[in-house]
Amino acid sequence: MKKKVLVTGGAGFLGSHLCERLLSEGDDVICVDNFFTGSKENIAHLMGNPFFEVLRHDVTFPLYIEVDQIYNLACPASPIHYQFDPVQTTKTSVHGAINMLGLAKRTKARILQASTSEVYGDPELHPQPESYWGKVNPIGIRSCYDEGKRCAETLFFDYYRQHKVDIRVARIFNTYGPRMNVCDGRVVSNFVVQALQEKDITLYGDGSQTRSFCYVDDLIEGLVRLMNTENLTGPVNLGSCGEFTMRELAEKVVAIAGSNSGITFEPLPMDDPKQRRPDITLAMEKLAWEPAIALDAGLNKTIEYFKKYLANPESLSGS
């Protein structure tokens, strides 16, 4: 039986890939987005599908539709965008969670929250397991996102305990790939665009801080498996176990892009985590999931996308 699936933030980087995947599996997909960071270009290639529809809607307001599953991805996810209007960012995480959980409660839909590794803050435990509570500054410039996502997790588990809502919580670590916003300020897109434009790569601090990088197709596979696994609320970490310094990433991007870019250094932003890598034992055991695409292979695909985008931004609908 065809499922009716709602994807909030469905025109964003992750959301558009998720909508595409769900349609390929025969689902009836409703994409909800206010297009603050989402893009119509990301989903234009899906518009001709009779089982795909788009609603321009802000999740801070209630939504009254009938659905079987909800993927709640709505929220700016890059520091440039979520710090642009921090109050609205917090509202999107908190009010958005309340409204989507209310919809799930009424329709008896299963609902998945796209949470984040940012709930761990600047971690004192490495790698980070789901049992770690985190070290988060509640009053810093990143707090609108970090604490908004933490509060959303609280709401999900309270709706689960109090109202028996069928929840799933995924903690998403750094993800990259085609359809990343060229101006979003995230490290992979920053480095790739700078390298392709032969500009110096900007590193913050001394470049020794580490991250793990998961290719978008692997991440989407993890989300779909979590949504469709019984008796597993999460939270479940989804991300790559490969850990790289920012300098190592910059050097890889320059080499793969065939660029002559050098490296410049800027001060480290406030509350920027020094280390970030998931413990994915739970995902491996319960979802039989782990990333399959190595960083070099994923960067090759991402760099090819950005080459085409920078040459002709109008040409990449659906790439």
| Residues contacting residue 110 through CB under 8 Å, at least 6 positions apart | 68, 69, 70, 104, 166, 167, 168, 227
Task: Give the tokens for residue 7.
Answer: 């994807």
- As annotated, the active-site residues are 145
What dihedral angle (degrees, nearest 10) is formed by the CA atoms of 71, 74, 77, 82?
-160
Helix 86-107 to helix 143-163 angle (10° resolution) is 20
| Residues contacting residue 1 through CB under 8 Å, at least 6 positions apart | none
Question: Residue 218's closest CA among 3, 8, 21?
Answer: 21
Q: Are strands 210-212 and 201-204 parallel, antiparallel or unpaired?
A: unpaired
- Residue that the structure tokens 């234009």 belong to: 44
Type of residue at 25: E
